[in-house]
Structure 1
Amino acid sequence: MYERTQSHISLRELDHESHQKIDRPYELLHVLEFSSSRRRMSVIVRNVENQLLLLSKGSDSVMLERLSKNSQDFVAVTMDHVKDALIEAAADEIERDLILLGATAVEDKLQIGVPECIEKLENAGIKIWVITGDKMETAINIGYACSLLREDMEQIVITLDSPEIIELEKKGDKEAVAKASRESVANQIRRGTLLLSSYEGRSVSPALIIDGKSLSFVLSQNLEGSFLHLAVSCASVICCRSTPKQKALVTRLVKKGTGRTTLAIGDGANDVGMLQEADIGVGISGVEGMQAAMSSDFAIAQFRFLERLLLVHGHWCYRRISMMVCYFFYKNIAFGFTLFWFEAYASFSGQPAYNDWYMSCYNVFFTSLPVIALGVFDQDVSPRLCLMNPELYKEGIQDILFSWPRILGWILNGIICSVVVFFFTTSSAVHQAFRGDGRVVDFEVLGVYMYSCVVWTVNCQMAISINYFTWMQHLVIWGSIAFWYAFLLIYGAFPPLFSTTAYQVFVEACGPSPFFWLGTMLVVVSCLLPYLLYRTVQTEFFPMPHDSIQKWQRETSDGRRGKLREKDTLLCK
């Protein structure tokens, strides 16, 4: 090629007739770009005779498979030159009686803290798969370096490097190669499944290792189900010689086949598809560029930071979200059911229990900030103890804190609180003198009385449920209660045209009444007693992992800042 424009290419060729070099122009029509999965590229051109030509280049294993039947003789002649056995024999004859001069070694070091991080993630109950483009020997060495493979662990290896398949590939019979490869992969999966049955009751499970060729047949020949059943039963899975597309397909297979949440971590452009396919993508920024980090949900600088991301922030976020959702159910049921009880009490006459502004502001001003503080700041265990006790992470895997029994328990707690609030306030206030002049309550005063009890109860419930108190928690919890009384004063000061039933109700009726303050305190204590009793019994007799660690943290004299002794680790085992 001696000249090229955007639309034309000029080649200097040898003319078959004149045996002279001539210049021939070609019109460039289209380029089929190279990709790591295709392993070839092609161009479509038109010559001066108006013929369309496809010119391709690529690896021999890919190109020879795509030759026409008329070119099979050329394939045979080409493959005939590959005398691997003869060359090896000749080399063996030559390489004799050598003198040792020295030795070299190349080490592909893992990042600092990778083996320790993987060990903690395994202790946390996380299944770890390695999907790499490295060859099998390198992948196995990485597995041993990361402690994914151990000497006492048997390996189930699925590969297509058998002599029979290699012989068929030399013959160039693509259909026979595909058929034999599929049968070989299916047989190896069946043998691995039979081997697993002999491991029932043992503490150590085998590891599964599969190469890229075998993986391509697994993903395209209806073998996904049997392969996935085998893989999820193994202690570790290593997929080597995998293309970027295979990485994404394996991630999709695990995500859809098991229904579990998947996390993918990678540092190169080849990992982008896998990161985007997984539920959570974590990109490592560094030597191989920023493509993985830019395509991920989270970006970290080193692999070992994944330990803190999952075991600390993952555990905290699970607790915070679980508690937030349950608390939302609780506080709205506690408030909403008082309306239901009141309507039944008023014979469903349509008499409102609360002023319209009270109901509008309940979830906006009086109970919202404590929930936000819970979702942002709450910590049941310190970061150091989370890292030293990875078993805490199993609470999320086993869905202990967001199960149906727990959700129904909070719903029941809300119903109990609504019953206590309504029936205690009505039975204690309706038939007795409430104001200083001896008058009993009316509906407006009863509504403020009930509403005050609800606001106190749900905020105090948050105070005894929260694990990590700072000035922020104190501010939003007690500030929400104080803001309710400030709202009563300000809103009640407006003329009746605007404040309607709230006009001076706190200043004239509720505030001066000792019965109002004493009754509110008794109602709040009565509402919280069932939960306090449950927590006491559960913590003392049926403690969860975080309960044990919290108890140890409280009883240790040096607390969160002290050093954990070696014998005190893994408290929740």
Structure 2
Amino acid sequence: SSHFRPLQSCCDCLARMCRRTKELKARTVWLGHPEKCEEKYPKNAIKNQKYNFFTFVPGVLYQQFKFFLNLYFLVVACSQFVPSLKIGYLYTYWAPLGFVMAVTMVREAVDEVRRYQRDKEMNSQLYSKLTFSPHLFLFLSHYNVLLQNQRIPADMIFLRTSEKTGSCFIRTDQLDGETDWKLKVAVVCTQRLPALGDLFSINAYVYAQKPQLDIHSFEGNFTRLMSSIAFLSLCLTGTVIGVVIYTGKETRSVLNTSSPKNKVGLLDLELNRLTKALFLAQVVLSIVMVALQGFVGPWFRNLFRFIVLFSYIIPISLRVNLDMGKSAYGWMIMKDENIPGTVVRTSTIPEELGRLVYLLTDKTGTLTQNEMIFKRLHLGTVSYGTDTMDEIQSHIGQSYAQPQPAQAPKAAAPKVRRSVSSRIHEAVKAIALCHNVTPVYESRANGETESTAAEADQDFSDDNRTYQASSPDEVALVRWTESVGLTLVNRDLTSLQLKTPAGQVLTYYILQIFPFTSESKRMGIIIREETTGDITFYMKGADVAMASIVQYNDWLEEECGNMAREGLRTLVVAKKSLSEEQYTDFENRYNQAKLSIHDRALKVSAVVESLEREMELLCLTGVEDQLQADVRPTLELLRNAGIKIWMLTGDKLETATCIAKSSHLVSRSQDIHVFRSVSNRGEAHLELNAFRRKHDCALVISGDSLEVCLRYYEHEFVELACQCPAVVCCRCSPTQKAQIVHLLKQHTANRTCAIGDGGNDVSMIQAADCGIVGYGGEGKQASLAADFSITQFKHIGRLLMVHGRNSYKRSAALGQFVMHRGMIISTMQAVFSSIFYFASVPLYQGFLMVGYSTIYTMFPVFSLVLDQDVKPEMALLYPELYKDLTKGRSLSFKTFLIWVLISIYQGGILMYGALVMFESEFVHVVAISFTALILTELLMVALNIRTWHWLMVLAEFLSLGCYIASLAFLNEYFDLGFITTPAFLWKVSVITVVSCLPLYIIKYLKRKFSPPSYSKLSS
């Protein structure tokens, strides 16, 4: 929580609070008196599973029978229990359906077990609990443990820390995505208790608001009714004790996380629509057959028999082949050595990776490493980079050199050199003092950490010191001052100490500190030097805030622009010397303003601004936020592939804008429109009109302004934003991130992908059509809800361009070929029935129908999952190939119609050819047509393969060998004497050639005169 107001009250206040709690369903937690706490805490566990033990089977069946294909075959299979509707053996209908359901359940069970194991790992983490009260938890959260990313799995209020001041550093990356350490202070009343045991007998309570979605604020009161004495005393070192307010589903993290859902790929929906079209064609064909009979006799029964007879026009093997293909794609992704560590966590939507239009990405830990490096110091007349740090170090050393009275004074240095040296000294000193950084020391003896040098026995050695701060920028600046000789060695709430190059420790007392806020865009500190008593006001901040505060200069604006173009985050540093009288006057006015009841914030701000006038400009600093490896080329690759990239971050506007520039999310030639902060409908309307007048402009908007725009102008805003080459949303809550995903899906009907690495990204990942997590950064919570996990952002390029593209094209080809396999045999059935007086008698019965879709053609058809039109290197070199996939041309009604025509042509040739060439026995028709059908399917697979794989060749010959070998056992269906004659061989060969040769000629001519884009590259 960000805000907590400790209060002291009386019994009347308690009564009022209890009434208010009852009305608002808020929470009152008593300390030391657990029997007074009426509220029951929810189970403190996270759950990413979709089902439980009892809902798994019905849930999976419901999800599967939502598809028209499966529901249709269930009805057809059930119809075979009716004697008058029975067409063939029961196993020919129930065995394929049962196999499909079994494969689906096994796949879902494997995914569900994996989710359960990941959830169990997170929920099994142990924490110590104080047994004196069920609401008090003792977390052994030593500073180094926090650095090791151990999470506090609840919303709690700090009551006491091992630090005398009650301070503690926390990270909120699972809430807002910020990995910076934030300084929090325990409740003053409990921190000052004489003994730890007093917590167990204190008569106090915490009133907390009901669980809220807002992650940036918390309203609550801490009330202590009377004093008490405890005789228990415990000695604990490096601990934080807190009272837990919210657990489980009531925590901010879970409230901002959507429930897991079943994601259905666009390809599955498209195939579902095609099966409905096939069903309509099947019904029409059955009606035509009954009509040609003249609607005589029990025509309605005959109609249903024809529907069952033509049921193979919708192949049930479609689901099996597609599901097995998805598993194969996942296996290929995880075995790709070019993207090591990639994990496929959901095996249902790999094709979605090939249809993406919008990529929504987090910033911290995803695009950046959140590691700042000092790059530039500019003094106006001279600039210092990383290659000139030795010169600065020399100046600092001279400034703090110990006097040598025994030696004769050296000749005075040139005036210009003395001026530069003085300016460098003042700039470095200001950077070393103006911050909120605290040094932390690790004890060499037991590995524990201490936040003060005093507790570390004044051990100022560099090898056991680290820094903690609310901003990585400040840590980078303090580390830089350390590298040039001025080291921060100690800090508490009232003072800080610097060590000079000569080893001298200087003490400065903190009189006032003004933290950085998103509104002020600056921070300040007033310090008093111990030796001289001089009082100095230091301030640093963004150039837009500091430009009007510092004295006139002619270089600040130009240099800020230069550094920004280099992708550096700039800070302007200034100072102002104060006399004792000036500070006393300021302190009186400042304290009086803080005691104001009305407009307190405005009055305090006005008093501080009275100091912020004509400040001396010291320097301009440039810090670089280290990007993840190959972020720039990866973003360029995605843009060239037609993917629009939106960055959604909880970070500040300036930081987000800087990263958008440095990562080349926004190209240097593009303008950036920073959406002005709006709070009502009128302001939003004016700002939208201003934005509408700009073209080819990237958009930067804050979460508050976004909320106002979506409340009043949702459609207009989304329409304008979707036209932008890039969009940056800063200060976004987890709920807002998910809301943006829903809006894009609703208004654009395009496929979305979300990538993040923290708990604050879970809602966004779950809301997107495809969720990816980079699990190398902020923890495991996001990976529990993701569909895919990658170790580095750069891997997303190959994941989409190669595996996503291949998965979509392969599944599209596989789905259409499986439907072709069903349509061709249904065409043959229709020709057979029409010739033989429209009789509803099956052409092939029993094992022939089962063997046709399994043993004889399954392996060659399934081998299409290994096909590829271009090599992976070519797909990465020409990302424009990916752009074609977003239009859905690989699987459309046009391509489907082409396959329908092919099926009708080949089915007609096979059936009419067999009828023309058959001998005296009808069984010869079955033998000729069925053998030609098998050979035609094997040849069609070969004609559609673009890149041969040795497994494809094996599948072709294995299937052909299985069919030839099985002829010896098919005497129930074939005349074994006839199939060994030359007449059988030449008749089958002629029919097969006539059915396939024209298609090969057409394909050759089309490839020659109108080749597809991929064939131009592969040639």
> Shorter-chain TM-score: which interval?
0.7 to 0.9
Counterpart residue number, 2:74:
none
Displacement of 1:95: 2.5
1:238 corresponds to which residue? 728
CA drift of 1:94 comes to 4.8
Corresponding position of 2:813: 323
User: Which residue pairs with 1:25 in the alignment?
Assistant: 203
Q: 2:990 aligns with which of 522, 531, 546?
A: 522
Aligned residue type for 1:42: G
Find out whether 1:275 has 2:765 as its counterpart: yes
C-alpha distance in 1 between matches for 2:516 and 2:653: 21
Identify the match of residue 393 of structure 1 among 874, 882, 890: 882
For 1:348-363, list aligned pairs within 5 A: 348-363=838-853
Say if 2:857 and 2:934, in contact at 8 Å, map to a contact too.
yes
The worse-fitting range, judged by mean Cα deviation, of 329-338 and 301-310 is 329-338
Confirm or deny that 1:81 pairs with 2:572: no
Say which of 90, 97, 122 aligns to 2:611: 90
- Give yes or no for the alignment of 1:37 onto 2:37: no
Q: Distance in 1 between matches of 2:204 and 2:985?
A: 95
SS of residue matched to 1:26: strand
**What's the counterpart of residue 663 of structure 2?**
146
Q: Secondary structure at the match of 1:142?
A: helix
User: Cα offset for 1:259?
Assistant: 0.8
**Secondary structure at the residue paired with 1:262?**
strand
Q: Residue 249 of structure 1: CA displacement?
A: 0.8
Gaps of 5+ in 2: 1-5, 7-29, 33-132, 137-158, 160-186, 191-200, 227-244, 246-514, 519-594
SS in 2 for 1:312: helix
> Which one has more relative contact order, counting CA pairs under 8 Å at least 6 apart?
2
Q: Distance in 1 between matches of 2:737 and 2:884?
A: 29
**Cα offsets for 1:139-163 (capped at 9, x unmatched):** 1221122222233322222121xxx
Q: Counterpart of 2:697 in structure 1: which amino acid? A: P
**After the TM superposition, which residues 519-558 of structure 1 pair with which residues of structure 2 at under 5 Å, given as runs?**
519-550=987-1018, 552=1019
Task: In structure 2, give the amino acid aligned to 1:509.
Answer: F
Structure 2 SS opposite 1:106: strand
Q: Distance in 2 between matches of 1:90 and 1:303?
A: 45
Contact 2:734 / 2:761 at 8 angstroms: preserved in 1?
yes
Match of 2:978 among 505, 509, 525: 509
Matching residue within 156, 179, 182 for 2:681: 182
- What residue is the counterpart of 1:218 in the other structure? 709
Q: Counterpart amino acid of 2:699?
A: L
Q: Quick check: 2:206–2:220 contact (8 Å CA) kept in 1?
A: no
Distance in structure 1 (CA, Å) of the matches to 2:829 and 2:222: 76
Query: What's 1:406 paired with?
Result: 895
- Say if 2:681 and 2:712, in contact at 8 Å, map to a contact too: no
Q: Distance in 2 between matches of 1:468 and 1:60?
A: 60
Deviation track 1:184-212 (CA, whole Å, cap 9, x = no partner) reads: 1222112222334xxxxxxxx22111112
TM-score by length of 2: 0.43
Give CA-to-partner distance per residue, 1:487-536, whole Å, 9 cap, x none. Answer: 221232xxxxxx3x44xx23x1112x112111222222211123212322
- Superposition map of 1:96-495 within 5 A: 105-160=622-677, 178=679, 181-196=680-695, 205-219=696-710, 221-375=711-865, 377-429=866-918, 440-492=919-971
The 3-state SS of whatever aligns with 1:108 is: strand
Letter in 1 for 2:218: R
Q: Any idea what the Cα deviations from partners look like across 1:362-383, whole Å, max 9, x if unmatched? A: 11221212222212x1111111
Give the 3-state SS of the residue equivalent to 2:854 in structure 1: helix
Could you say if the C-alpha distance between residues 354 and 77 of structure 1 is closer, same or farther in structure 2, counting changes exceeding 3 Å? closer
Query: Which amino acid in the other structure matches residue 192 of structure 1?
Result: F
Alignment deviations for residues 33-78 of structure 1 (CA, whole Å, 9 cap, x no partner): 6866352153698969xxxxxx9xxx9999xxxxxxxxx9723245
**Displacement of 1:87 after TM fit?**
3.4
The alpha-carbon deviation at position 245 of structure 1 amounts to 1.4
Instruction: Measure the CA separation in 2 of the matches of 1:94 and 1:38.
Output: 33
Kindly tell me: are residues 188 and 478 of structure 1, through their superposed partners in 2, closer, same or farther at Cα, counting changes over 3 Å? same
Whole-Å separation in 1 of the counterparts to 2:821 and 2:927:
17
SS at match of 1:537: helix
Contact 1:34/1:41 (<8 A) preserved = no
Distance 1:348 1:185, change over 3 A: same
Provide the C-alpha distance between the structure 2 equivalents of 1:120 and 1:343, rounded to a whole number of angstroms.
55
Q: Would the alpha carbon gap of residues 192 and 441 (structure 1) be closer, same or farther in structure 2, given more than 3 Å must change?
A: farther
Report the Cα distance in structure 2 between the residues aligned to 1:156 and 1:406, rounded to whole angstroms: 43
% identical equivalent positions:
28
**Alignment check: 8 A CA contact 1:7 1:29 kept:** no
The answer to whether the 8 A contact 1:265-1:275 is kept is yes
Cα gap change, 1:37/1:183 in structure 2, threshold over 3 Å: closer, same or farther?
Answer: farther
- Indicate the SS of the match to 1:254: helix
- What amino acid maps onto 1:187 in structure 2? L
CA shift, 1:268, in A, is 1.5
1:189 maps to a residue whose letter is L
SS at match of 1:107: strand
The letter of the residue matching 2:962 is: F
CA distance in 1, matches of 2:188, 2:777: 40
Confirm or deny: 8 A CA contact 1:114 1:303 kept in the other structure. Answer: yes
Per-residue CA deviation, residues 530-550 of structure 1 (Å, 9 max, x unaligned), is 321232222122222112122
Q: Is contact 1:32–1:43 with CA below 8 Å preserved after alignment?
A: no
Q: Conserved in 2, the CA contact under 8 Å of 1:244 and 1:273?
A: yes
Q: Flag structure 1 segments of 5+ consecutive residues without an equivalent.
A: 14-22, 49-54, 63-71, 166-177, 197-204, 430-439, 493-498, 553-573
> Partners in 1 of 2:856 and 2:650 — Cα distance?
56
Offset, 1:135: 1.6
Report the Cα distance in structure 2 between the residues aligned to 1:192 and 1:359, rounded to whole angstroms: 63
Higher fraction of helix: 1
SS in 1 for 2:639: helix
Please report how far the alpha carbon of residue 132 of structure 1 lies from its aligned counterpart in structure 2 after TM superposition.
Answer: 1.2
Checking the alignment, whether the CA contact within 8 Å between 1:354 and 1:448 is kept in structure 2 is: no
SS at match of 1:82: helix
Alpha carbons of 1:283 and 1:357: their partners in 2 closer, same or farther (altered >3 Å)? same
Mapped partners of 1:109, 1:290: distance in 2: 22
Q: How far apart are residue 424 of structure 1 and its match?
A: 1.6
- When residues 350 and 235 of structure 1 are mapped into structure 2, their CA distance, relative to the original with a 3 A threshold, is closer
Deviations 1:89-115 (A, max 9, x none): 53434536x5x7xx7543211111111
Q: Does the 8 Å CA contact 1:231/1:237 hold for their aligned counterparts?
A: yes
Decide whether the 8 Å contact of 2:208 with 2:219 is kept in 1.
no
Inter-partner Cα distance in structure 1 for 2:852 and 2:189: 84
**C-alpha RMSD of matched pairs (Å):** 3.1
Instruction: Report the AA paired with residue 126 of structure 1.
Output: I
Equivalent residue, structure 2, for 1:433: none
Q: Distance in 1 between matches of 2:907 and 2:966?
A: 23
Letter in structure 2 aligned against 1:510: I
- When residues 397 and 356 of structure 1 are mapped into structure 2, their CA distance, relative to the original with a 3 A threshold, is same
User: Structure 1: how far apart are the matches of 2:221 and 2:942?
Assistant: 70
